[in-house]
Structure 1
């Protein structure tokens, strides 16, 4: 087993058994029978391990969907739906860790109020967030080409933020979901994605705006 995988496995088992992070890298490495320096070759901290795990959930879901030949013919809306369903399925396989990590980060961010994520949560989710933003921008660009996404002045650049907020909402919903086989999460995914694409797609207001613009230019 590679050192990185060994560290991740041992860390996951430790936090699930103890409900908290190890007290020190030195003690953790000693119990794992590796040099402390070998730990730092892979990770700079315990939070870095969690950040890597959350990023892996994302990259595996994205890779799985993109490897599906059927998904290549999906609309952008359907691709995002497929990603979320796949992502949640992967999270189910390590739900205990996801619940622990998300709960710990949420507890650490209490008191942040309107400022949103606490610093610790922000750092742990940072690699995941950055990778998701790249993915969202690619999807949105594809959506503009297929006319599924309507470019709007001053708003278009905020679309990735909205999709990231949607992702955090769905994660929180799934963490709290107690329905059988998380059926309510499936419904939440469908409704959230359909609503977001209804909002960022072309609407009667866009048609009205175009008509008003035409009238103004030709008066």
Structure 2
């Protein structure tokens, strides 16, 4: 773990000082005073380091909220809010790197929008995979608590919608110039509340149930 942190820290410092990735693993390892083989024992490329950093942002936020006893008593909506607030707080500590990396990833997506970042930009895929597992667990809990309404052909797309929301909030925070990123806090609250208003039970679901009842008992 110590070597992993050493490599990640050196990589982060390099890209922030130079505005680009190192040109050679050999030179990077030499400057770090480790053997090139030691680098490859942990990472296959510089992109692999960056992917690991993005994944760490997520896992650290998830571990932090789940360690809070009050979190366990939250509704699913409140749990997702707590995760996003914690995640953004952790990102603030490395904002310069996040701005650099996310900007680079957006450039690679060739202006096709933030939703195109994965899978065309695989650096975010480990983060995405873990987030999907987290989202599926939350949604399953939400179905049990009746906060999430299962709908044919739509329910399976809920994790994709939450992932899109995550990328939107990340992009919003990077562009946010408000004091203490207050607008990002509002964006988190409004986007999560809107999402759960949409995936929760609505008057249309009640109407559908009534129509189904009428059809079955005509």
Distance 1:28 1:119, change over 3 A: farther
- Other structure's SS at 1:20 match: coil
Aligned length: 218
- Other structure's SS at 2:8 match: helix
Contact 1:174 1:185 in 2 (8 A): yes
Task: Supply the RMSD in Å over aligned alpha carbons.
Answer: 1.5
Aligned residue in 2 for 1:167: 166
Distance 1:45 1:87, change over 3 A: same
CA shift, 1:2, in A, is: 2.0
Aligned residue in 2 for 1:106: 106
- Other structure's SS at 1:116 match: helix
Deviations 1:89-120 (A, max 9, x none): 00000000000000111112115479822766
CA shift, 1:3, in A, is: 1.6
Contact 1:51 1:125 in 2 (8 A): yes
- Large movers: runs of 4+ above 6 Å: none
Contact 1:150 1:201 in 2 (8 A): yes
Distance 1:14 1:158, change over 3 A: same
1:49 aligns to 2:49 (yes or no)? yes
Aligned residue in 2 for 1:185: 184
Deviations 1:4-59 (A, max 9, x none): 11111100000000000000101100111111110001101101111000000000
Contact 1:29 1:39 in 2 (8 A): yes
Aligned positions of 1:65-80 closer than 5 A: 65-80=65-80
CA shift, 1:138, in A, is: 0.1
Distance 1:115 1:73, change over 3 A: closer
Aligned positions of 1:22-171 closer than 5 A: 22-112=22-112, 116-117=116-117, 122-171=121-170
